[in-house]
Structures are given as C-alpha cells and as structure tokens.
A and B are shown apart, each in its own frame.
Chain A
C-alpha cells in the first residue's frame, strides 16, 4: 500500500472523528490541522503493525491526545476563545462548546472519548496509559463542572 493509499484509508475511517477531538482540544482550525498533520505523519511513517481496526483507532487517538497536549503546552493556551476561522460549532451549540473548552484538558479529553467516541472507562484508561480510578475521577469532575456551569447560566 502506498503512503497515499494509506492516508486515504486512514482518513476515511478516522479523519472526521480525529478532527472533532482535536478541534475540541485546540480551539482553532489552524492549530487543529497542524496537530492532525502530525498524527497522520506518525500513522504513515512511524506506526507499528495493527492486528485489528480497533487497535489502530485506539493508537490514533492516543497519538492525538499526546500531540494536542504537546501543542497546547508549547503554545501555553489556557483560554477557550474561538477564532474566526470557520467552520465552528452550530450557533445553538456555542454555549456548550465554550463550557467544554473551559474544562481542564484531561477532563475534556475523557468526556469526549467517553461520550463522543463511546469508549468505556477501562478502554480510555488504556488509551491514556493511566488508571481506571483516574479516568472515573476526571469524568465525574468534568460532568459536575459542566452541570454546575450550565445551571449557573440559566
């Protein structure tokens, strides 16, 4: 399989999901695409052999998590501001989007992997290389923070 074929196969299967995760983490489209470039470069040029599609998917998200963290650390981003680059979440979603973006990175990571990607707490612990109790705690705190802020806005 050529590099181009591998890219197309990987992007078709996982591109949009990876984009949404990275967009939620990075905030801007430009930064998101920088991160995605690194993720796909690693997939094409430095990845191990995968026995199953699920193994590949987990690997890709693990790489995306680490890449986003590296990039955020490098840019010292702490704000949740949206930039003007489109597309952005739908207007009806802006409030929730901004709330999620205010969460600490490790909480919004587990929130997204659990609710948007459907992984269990055990699977998320494996992807992040951490413990199940740590994931549960972050999920609990993330949900409570969102609920608190959501109710305060009302």
Chain B
C-alpha cells in the first residue's frame, strides 16, 4: 500500500483551485432551508430583540412578514401562512437546549395556541450510534421513529437521569398534558448526528399559556435487519416556556334539544354536538361539512378552505350522547376577525 500513499502524495492540486473555491464559497449563501442551531449569547439575544422591536415599530403594517418560520413549518402549512395576520400570535422562536448525558435535545421553534402545538425538535444522537445504519433507514424513508410526551412544569435531566422512557413516564405521571398527535422525523443530518422531529399535538384541554412545558423524548429507534434498535439508552427532557399568545374563542348554543359547543383557535377548531338522542346528532363527518366561519364583516368561509385534517370523537356522558369534530388547520385563522361559527343553519357566536 506504499504505492497508494506515494500516488496520493504525487497527485497535484489543480492550479488556482484555492482562489476558485474561495470565490464560490464566499459567494454561496448559507443554506436557508434548514437553519443550523447555534446557541446565541444573551447579549446577542438582547441585540436581536432590540433590532426586531425597531423593525416591527417601523413596519407595523407588514409585521407578519418578519415572522421567521422555519422551512419545515412553511412546508407543512400553506404558502403564505407565515405572512398571515395570525402568524405572529402562534409563533415562538424557542432555541432552548438540554444536554441529557450523551443526548442533546433542542426545541427549535414552536407554533402554538391554547389547544394546539407544533414543535420542531432536534435530537442529537449519541456518538456511538451507527450513522450508516441511521442514514440507510432515513434514505429508505422507514424511520427513525420517535415519540414524545408533554408535561406541565419544569423537569430537569437530573430528575430522570439514567431512566428509560417507561420509567421516566411513571416517575412523571400526573403532570402530563394529554394530547393526540404525531411525531414525525423530518430531517436527518449525519454530520451533526441530529434527527429533526416535527411534533404535532392537539390537546384535550386548554393549556395554560406562559407556564413552563417539558418535552420528554423517548429513545428514537429504527428497524434494522428485522429487529428494533434503540438509538439511545435513556429518555431525555427539555423544558421551555411557551410565549405564544393565541387563545381560543368559544361559544355554545342550543337548538332542538342539541347543544352545540365551539372552540376556535388560529390553528384548530373543535365542534361538538350533544343531546339525549344519538339520532339527533350530526356525525363528525357531517359536522366537518357544515362548519363555516362567519367574519365580523359578514362574509363567510367554509372550514374546508383552511385545509383541515383530523377526526373527532363520540361517546356518552351519563345519559347524554355526543359527537365531535376536531380539526387541525393548515391555513391560520385570524380569530379576531371571526364573530361566529355556523353549523348548518345555526350560527353560534364566539368570544
């Protein structure tokens, strides 16, 4: 193999390569699709906040254009969502990192309101993980698979250090925030050993804004040669304080023995009808077809205009039957402009 070494040593570098490369590299804009996480110093945060205040004050009419949604959010929601009037109320540039042993978690950004939360979560894998295996699974679009739980309040790494996910969940039982949703791995960077996950949460109950929230990340895993392989051997946590301000507007009305309840936020809508007789109720699919937003100026928009996804629920409570439709919206609703929700021919004022 000496010959190989000698061959490589003899290989000349092209003339002017350095100058050529320098010109190309300096001219190349940093990749904008995925913003690399870099912890900012407090001084830089203060300066950035000051610059944003000045810019926002100077361009009040176009403030929404300055909301820097991550590319994954702009891909997930419709074009122009980041520029809509509600965009600023739901957005939070979180940038909080938690080092949990050999795993590092970063909440990059959040879009949220009292009933809904989307999180961009970076999960840096331990150094001993086989990156080629992860890369192969990622490129085959078969994973990695992740899972998270959410808790109210602060949980430190030392509170669960060394615990597996089941053990940590048990230890934190009672503080969890129930939600339905999903965790999707949306990116993998082998260089930094980082998985980026998009966490989607539709909360059962309204979440208190402004209070700390903890994300418990389970060990991500892949299916490899027929077996499930965990990419870490312990759970990890990161706590952040939601600062988004979007709240729900609610309304309720009764007609023909059926009570209709509405909850509307910029990111979601829930409509429930409840009554003594199941036959009197709209099914969740019928509700979905009948929901219309009524604006302050009298105009209306069917909920399908907001690209809804979701499902609903049905059941009984005592002797009352209920059926509901819960939808996540891909076009943001400017709830300040909505005065009522119409279900069929019944208009339900909301506030």
Contacts and interface: CB of A to CB of B under 8 A. Distances in A.
B344 to A, nearest CB: 53
A7 B4 contact: no
Given A66-B190, A111-B4, A7 B129 contact: no
A116 B24 contact: no
Interface in B1-41: 1, 3-5, 7-8, 10-14, 17-18, 20-22, 24-26, 28, 30-31, 36
Nearest to A117: B8
Contact of B132 (A24, A63, A93, A128): A128
A112 to B, nearest CB: 7
Contacts of A77: none
B140 interface: no
B11 A89 contact: yes
Contact of B130 (A44, A90, A131): A131
A96 B2 CA distance: 11
Give the dominant DSSP class at A's interface.
helix
A20 B11 contact: yes
Given A66-B191, A129-B131, A131-B130, A37 B24 contact: yes
Interface residues of A, number: 46
A36 B22 CA distance: 10
A46 B36 contact: yes
Nearest to A69: B135
A130 interface: yes
Contacts of B4: 96, 100, 111-112, 115-116, 146
Interface in A38-59: 40-42, 44-46, 48, 59
A8 B190 contact: no
A19 B193 contact: no
Contacts of B26: 3-4, 7
B25 A19 contact: no
B29 to A, nearest CB: 9
B127 interface: yes
Contacts of A33: 14, 17, 20-21, 24
B17 A129 contact: no
B21 A45 contact: no
B317 interface: no
Interface in A112-137: 112, 115-116, 126, 128-131, 134
Interface residues of B, number: 32
Interface string B322-343: 0000000000000000000000
A11 B22 contact: yes
B192 interface: yes
Contacts of A100: 4
B14 A29 contact: yes
Given A40-B21, A66-B191, A45 B30 contact: yes
A89 B10 contact: yes
A74 B98 CA distance: 35
Contacts of A86: 14
Interface string A49-91: 0000000000100110010000000000000000000110110
Most chain-B CB neighbours within 10 Å: which of A4, A20, A23, A129? A129
B28 A41 contact: yes
A32 B25 CA distance: 14
Nearest to B35: A46
A97 B22 contact: no
B7 A96 contact: yes
A124 B131 CA distance: 13
B192 A48 contact: yes
Most chain-B CB neighbours within 10 Å: which of A19, A29, A46, A131? A46
A141 interface: no
Nearest to B130: A130
A45 B36 CA distance: 9
14 contacts: A8-B18, A15-B13, A20-B11, A23-B11, A29-B14, A86-B14, A87-B14, A90-B10, A93-B11, A116-B5, A129-B131, A129-B132, A143-B1, A146-B1
Interface of B: 1, 3-5, 7-8, 10-14, 17-18, 20-22, 24-26, 28, 30-31, 36, 127, 129-132, 190-193
Given A3-B25, A59-B191, A96-B3, 10 more contacts: A4-B26, A7-B25, A62-B190, A89-B11, A90-B7, A111-B4, A112-B8, A115-B1, A129-B193, A146-B4
